[in-house]
Amino acid sequence: MRGLVLLIRRPVCQAGPKGLLQERLWFSSSARRLANPLRKQTGKITNKLPDTPCRTRFAPSPTGYLHLGSLRTALYNYLLAKATGGQFLLRIEDTDQTRLVPDAEKRLYDDLGWAGLTWDEGPDIPDGSYGPYRQSERLHIYDQHADQLIREGKAYRCFCSPEALEHHKQAAHARGEPTHYPGTCRSVSQQESDARAANGESFAVRFKSGDKPMVIQDMVYGRYQKNEREEDFIIRKRDGFPTYHFANVVDDRLMKITHVIRGAEWLISTPKHAEMYAAFGWESPVFAHVGLLVDEKRHKLSKRDSGVDMSWYKERHILPDTLLNFALLLGWGRPSSVKSDVMTLQDMVDNFAPKFSKGDIVVSLGKLSHLQNKHLRRLLDQEPTPENLSQLEVISKPIWDIVESVSKTGLDGLLLPLEKALQDQDTSLLTSHVRDILRASKQLPDPLDPDSLQEFVLRDCIPFFFRFPEWDGGDLVNFGQFNQIIEEWDCDVAIRKAHVYLDQLQVAVRKTITSSSSSSSKIEGGNNEWKTNPEIVQKLVKTSAPVREKKNIKLFYALIRWALTKQHHGPSIVDVIRLIGPEETNSRLDQARACVQRFKDKLIYIE
C-alpha cells in the first residue's frame, strides 16, 4: 500500500512526574521473553469473518472532536457489523464531566454523517432496544452493578482521601517502590463499610483484583498476559460517576456487543476488563487492537499534525469515500482476492475481513491525492444521478464560490443557462456543469495544495463559465501556438484558410441552433442535447475539419481552440463545444471570424 509504513515501537518504561509507571507497548517477533510488562503468549490468531451477525460499537468521548484515528476505529467497527449482517451502535461516553466540550457531540454526529457512516442505534435514534446510549443517563445502572460486586465480595468501598493516596504515592516513589494502591480499605468489613457509607462518608469503589495476571486473547496479537497482577483499581469515583473501564464493560455486556475493535493503546487495560467480565460471570466480547497512528517522526499523532481533524479534510474538499478509503488502509490487511486498494464504502463492506497489521502506522498524506483522483474520476464516469451529484457538491460548491468571486472582477457574465441556474439556486444544474468540466479536464486539482482549486478554476474553467468579451486583432498575434503554425505558411494563405475553417464550423453550428424551435430550447435544450449526445458534436467537428494534409488539420484544431478558449491546452475540442453549448460556440466563432477578417483586411503579416 503506497504511502503507508509499518513500524515497531520499542518499550519505554519510566517514572512519570508523580512516580506513576508509564507503560508503552512493544510488540516483537522475537521468541525471547520481553522485559516489558506485557508478555506475548502462544495463541492462534484468526482473520476469518465471523459466521454470525456481529454487534459492534463506536464509543467516543465528547471531550474533543472526531479525528482520523477515531474515524478509523468507527469505520472498522462499522465494516465488521455490516459485513456480517449485524448492527453498529453509537454510544456517547461522557462520564468525564470536567472535560466535556459543549459542541463536541453535535460535531460528532455531523462529521460521521458527512463521512457516510450511519448507526443502527444511538442517542439520536428513538426507541433503541438497549438505551440509553449516553453514559451520563445510565448512572443508576452502574450503581446497581457496583453494588452487586460489593455484595459478592468482588469490590469494596475505599474511604481513602485523595490527599492520603497522593502522600502514599510520593512516599513509595521516594523509596523506589511501586506506587500501586496499598489495599488500605480491602480489609474493612462489609458491616463497617455499610455504616460509614450510611453516615455520609465519601468513598470510591475499587475492584478486588485477582492474585494472578489475567490472560487475554486478541484478534491481532493473540494471547497476552501482563507480568504483574492488576492493582485494586477504581470502578466508581467519589463523585458517583463510573470510571471508563467499568462503564465500558457494563455497557458492552448490556448492549450485547460481540466484537470490540480499538486502538492498541487500550490493550494494556484489557486484562482489567477481562477480570470484570469474569467477576460478573459474563463472556467477554472478542477484542481486536489495531496499531496506533504516528507521524513521520514516529510520534503519536497530535492535534498539531496535518490531517488529524476532520475539518482539515473538509477544507481541502476531500470526498467522503476518499477519506474512508484512506482511513481503511491505515493498518488493514487487504485480502489477496482484492486487487485494488481503491474502494467505495460498499466495496469495503463486501471485501472486509478482520485482518490488521501489527505495530504502529506512519500516516503519509501522499496517498490521499492518489485516492482523491481515483474516487473523483469514478464519480465523474458514472451516470449523473442525484446521489452522485450530491457527493460531488463537496468539490462543486467551492468551485462555484470561486466563480462567483471571479464574476465580480469585470468579466462579461456567466453563460446564460448558468446565470439563470445561479439566480434560481439550481444546485443540481450547477453541480452537473462542474461535473462536465471536471470530467473533460486532464488534470484535476490536488487536494494537498491549498491553492490548487483556485488555480484550476482560473486556468481551466473560465472559458466554460463566462461569456467572452469583445476581442481585438492582437489576440491572434499573441496566440503563440497559432503563430507557430502559420510560420509554416504564407501568412496570407494561413489567414484565408483560417477564415474558411471558422466559417465552415460556424455554418454547422448555426444549423443546430436553427433546428431549435424556441429560445428556451436554444439555451437549455440545445445544451443538454450536446452534452448528452457527444456524437452530435463529434460529427459536427469532423464534417467541418479538412480531410487532407496533416498541416491543414493541425491549423484547424489550433484555430478552433484559440477561437473557443484562448488557451494552448485543455479539454478536447469536442468537450469544449459540448460544455459551452451551441449559442456560446456560435458567439465565440463570430468574434473569431471578425478578428481574422480584420487581419485579412489589413494584410497583417507575422514576421
Catalytic machinery residues? 303
Which class for 76: exposed (0-12), middle (13-18), buried (19 or more C-beta within 10 A)? buried
- Residue 362 DSSP symbol: E
- Residue 408 DSSP symbol: G
Q: What is the pairing mode between strands 293-294 and 360-363? A: parallel
Distance CA 282, CA 11 (A): 33
DSSP output for 48-105: PPPSS--EEEE---TTS--BHHHHHHHHHHHHHHHHTT-EEEE-B----GGG--TTHH
Pick the closest to residue 181 from 135, 229, 221, 214 (CA basis): 229
Structural contact between residues 77 and 57, judged by C-beta atoms closer than 8 angstroms: yes
**What residues pair up with 222 in beta bridges, in sequence order?**
218
Distance CA 76, CA 84 (A): 13
Say which residue the cell 489477496 belongs to.
336
Residue 349: C-alpha distances to residues 68, 276, 310, 370, 599 (Å): 19, 33, 22, 21, 63
3-state SS assignment for residue 228: coil
Distance CA 61, CA 247 (A): 12
Distance CA 388, CA 395 (A): 12
Q: How far from chain centre, in Å, is Cα 217?
A: 31
3-state SS assignment for residue 496: helix
Rg (CA), the chain: 34
CA triple 4-50-343, angle to 5 deg: 35
3-state SS assignment for residue 194: helix
Q: Give every CB contact of residue 179 below 8 A, 6+ residues apart in sequence.
A: 18, 19, 20, 21, 168, 169, 172, 173
3-state SS assignment for residue 507: helix
Letter string b/e over residues 78-97, b meaning 16 or more CB atoms within 10 A of that residue's CB: bbbbbbbebbbbbbbbbbee
- Residue 464 DSSP symbol: G
- What are the cell numbers at 79? 465494516
Structural contact between residues 477 and 606, judged by C-beta atoms closer than 8 angstroms: yes
3-state SS assignment for residue 415: coil
Pick the closest to residue 482 from 548, 585, 554, 545 (CA basis): 554
CB atoms within 10 A of CB 520: 11
